[in-house]
Amino acid sequence: MKYIKKAKFVGILAIILVASTASGRARDFKHITPTLAILTSFSLSTYKSELVASNDTGTGFSYGIGGYAGEDGTLGFFLKIDSASTSFALNSSSNAVTWQDTLIRYRWSYFYLGPIFSMMDYKVNQEGTELLDLKSSGIGGNLGMMVPLGNTGAIFLDLSSVTMSSTVNKLATEANIGSRTDFDLGASIDVTRSLVDFTFGYRQQQYTVSTDSTYTETYLATYLGLNFSFNF
């Protein structure tokens, strides 16, 4: 958890600084609260696994769809899918993780808040032996900030916490997924005036896996992406 705490402090400080410099500007949220948005990103990651007792780098891909409705785009709905895989060369192990998150957001000025419904597919191979092949689901909360940078970009901070309440492992090993915490600090810049945004940022995620003991899995990633936005 120490990585997330440090990153949260840096992220919150950055947001406060940007918000203070933007306080005198017009609060035009239209370009960051589109009616329809298609989200894509590619990430380079470091995965620190207590479960397989190893660290290594990998890649990930995220995509989603959603949008905002209501007066001034106050109500948001998003479906996001994040997939990542890592091969641990040190002990010939690997894992593959896919999260599917459904988010509902209520936005007030720079801030938003809402529930998150999450599903997980998780496979772990430890030293050539299949250890886990499970599905899990849970519910939690999502909050964050979006600060427009004029009419051409934005900086954002996103935090999530999910408790996974139901886990089924297809293999004989008894396993359970516990709590998950996410931190995402990034920015977007308009590539075109109204359609394409370039995004970049830093993401951290931690969750616990219980088998014979409880292990903490830590995922750190930098990402680049393109968002396609439409306003009706």
Task: Give CA–CA dist 169/186, Å, rounded.
Answer: 34
Which stretches of the chain drop beneath a pLDDT of 50?
2-3, 13, 16-17, 20-26
* Confidence (pLDDT) at 29: 76
* Confidence (pLDDT) at 20: 43
* Confidence (pLDDT) at 183: 97
**Phi, psi torsion values for 19, nearest 5 degrees:** -60, -40
- Residue 218 included in any domain: yes
CATH number of the domain where residue 12 is located: 2.40.160.20
Please list, residue by residue across 82-91, b when 16 or more beta carbons sit within 10 angstroms of its beta carbon and e when fewer do: bbbbbebeee
- Residue 63 included in any domain: yes
Range of the domain at 109: 2-181+191-230
**Phi, psi torsion values for 136, nearest 5 degrees:** -145, 155
pLDDT in tens, 159-193: 999 999 999 999 888 899 999 999 999 999 999 87
State the chain's maximal CA–CA distance in angstroms: 60
pLDDT in tens, 115-139: 999 999 999 999 989 999 999 999 9
* Confidence (pLDDT) at 10: 52
- Residue 55 included in any domain: yes
Global pTM value? 0.86
- Residue 128 included in any domain: yes
Task: Give CA–CA dist 218/48, Å, rounded.
Answer: 5
Q: 58 is written with which tokens?
A: 């990998």
- Residue 186 included in any domain: no
Tally of domains within the chain: 1
- Residue 39 included in any domain: yes
Nearest to 157 by CA among 220, 108, 202: 202
- Residue 30 included in any domain: yes
- Residue 116 included in any domain: yes
Task: Give CA–CA dist 166/168, Å, rounded.
Answer: 7
